[in-house]
Homo-oligomer: A and B are copies of this chain.
Amino acid sequence: MSVYSPRLRELVEGLRRLPGVGAKTAQRMALHLLQRDRDGARQLADALQRAVDGVGHCPECGLLTEEERCGLCASPQRRRTLLCVVESSADVFALEQATDFQGLYFVLGGALSPLDGIGPEELGLDRLQQRLEAGEVEEIILATNPTIEGEATAHYVQSLAAERGVRTTRIAHGVPMGGALEQVDQGTLSHAFMGRRDYEG
């Protein structure tokens, strides 16, 4: 017999759906909410429901949003000539927090992976092609992940851009700032070494 009542068990199981939350953490969360923060629990329930019901993807860039166009695509301040191609919405949030990039994004929602049935159409690359044909974009910044799939996707986008004579750049990969050389994996270190630049000091 479980000591949890059915609804408490349901709640613990629901919380375990969250990434990184195991049985013990889920129990602690459930008890915290029920014993000390029922308003928080109600607020979270509403927020989840509203997000699941409403949040889709920006039809222009693919960013998660419930609005007709996301805040970035709708902003008159952003430069529409620069287009940064990323795999996921999380990458957009990370870049917005870390950089002062003033252009727009194109969120693929993944990377090319033929064996998993993820081809150019699944990533909306036909829409990207149309956008390049429209002629507004002057530079594509490739910020897909430095994985086999991310590199293959970067190559594919580069070829689309080349067809239209659009300049393509790739964000730099190498030893992370503040990182110790000896702790960086071999692939990264090799890539950083090959990609060395002139240094004026």
Show the binding face of A for B, using Cβ within 8 Å.
1-8, 10-11, 13-15, 17-20, 25, 27-35, 37-38, 40-52, 54-55, 63-67, 70-72, 75, 88-90, 92-93, 96, 109, 182
Contact = CB atoms under 8 A, between A and B. Distances in A.
A18 B29 contact: yes
B51 A8 contact: yes
A52 B48 contact: no
Contact of A44 (B14, B75, B93, B96): B14
A163 to B, nearest CB: 30
Contact of A55 (B7, B19, B65, B72): B7
A47 B49 CA distance: 11
Nearest to A67: B5
B35 A52 contact: no
A48 B33 contact: yes
Main secondary structure of the interface of A (DSSP, over half): helix
Copies of this chain per assembly: 2
Given A14-B47, A40-B17, A44-B15, A7 B71 contact: no
Contacts of A47: 7, 10-11, 13-15
B7 A54 contact: yes
A35 B64 contact: yes
A41 B51 contact: yes
Contact of A7 (B4, B50, B109): B50
A43 B64 contact: no
Given A7-B55, A37-B17, A42 B31 contact: no
A64 B8 contact: yes
A120 B122 CA distance: 64
